[in-house]
Amino acid sequence: MSTIGFGAWAIGGMHWGKTDDEVSIQALHGAIDQGVTLIDTADVYGFGHSEELIAKVIKERGKENLVIATKAGSDFYHADPEDDDGYGAITPNYSKEYLISAAEKSLKRLNVEALDILQLHSPELNILERDDPWLALEKLKKDGKIKHAGLSIKSFEESKQAHLLDLHHDILDCIQVRYNLLEREAEDVLFPKALEHGIGVIVRISLLFGLLTGKFDRNSSFGKDDHRRMNLSAERLNDYLSELELQDSLFTRFKNQSKTQVSLRFSITHPACQTAIPGAKTAHQVQENCSSSDLGPIHD
């Protein structure tokens, strides 16, 4: 699997500002042309649209060597307007029946016989303490509907949810985790457990919603249809940029590389981390992301 993958949230056409499907498809083709073998999506990205775009690319060029990872549990099929927390009408649903039906819908949208990886989509711990999510993954595996099972660890609960790897390492093949130069809690408990149990790690938010590319400052703002209006609010942006200034020596050490390249190299340096999935909406962004893979991890 390539050390740099393709995060397909932004191309879904929701929550990242304006997108163009043709540009998104070109970005996907460009990623594959440059050796990307992992594309990470979710059924909720664009309410199915991200998966549909990926299916178009697969139809155009085949699926050989490609691993498509998707997610389920964010129910947009049965949600009401009052369930909208700024991401559209979505409600958590991790019942066994729902997860199986959601997987079936993803299979149809992606037009594949089996999902390479199905991940539980960042549920709260109390949901993961129930049997249903795990029974669903077990049945989907047994029935040949999914090849591998994963868990997307909820952001900022990297230590709180780490014990789940002890409990469910028999079903879990991989986890996905928020991890980047400024957010490193996963190193404390989660990564050691992943290494202990031989569970692969997919790194998300490796560029912190674009902040680690160096293109934002304290005056940056985001449109209404851009989740960064919340996740990189003025207060958060100020705090993150203050932390980022403390990393100047690292970027100076690799002054011939962009901040994007250095940040992505960091995200695949820990021995537990197999691959990072920075988001991209254009072929140019893909090219810079993929160039980081050739540079390899950062060593002392």
Question: By the 8 A CB rule, do 144 and 176 touch?
Answer: no
Candidate list 45, 98, 179, 240, residue with the active-site label: 45
Amino acid (one-letter) located at 231: N
Query: Which residues fall within 8 angstroms of residue 112, CB to CB, at 6 or more apart?
Result: 58, 63, 68
Q: From CA 150, how far away is CA 174, in angstroms rounded?
A: 5
Amino acid (one-letter) located at 1: M
* 56-80 residues labelled b (16+ CB within 10 A) or e (exposed): ebbeeeebeebbbbbbbbbbbbebe
Q: From CA 185, how far away is CA 130, in angstroms rounded?
A: 25
Residue 26: name the closest of 208, 252, 284 by CA. Answer: 284
* 2-40 residues labelled b (16+ CB within 10 A) or e (exposed): bbbbbbbbbbbbbbbbebeeeebbebbebbbebebbbbb
Strand partners, 40: 7, 69
Amino acid (one-letter) located at 63: K
Is position 179 annotated as part of the catalytic site? no
* 253-272 residues labelled b (16+ CB within 10 A) or e (exposed): eeeebebbbbbbbbbbebeb
Catalytic residues: 45
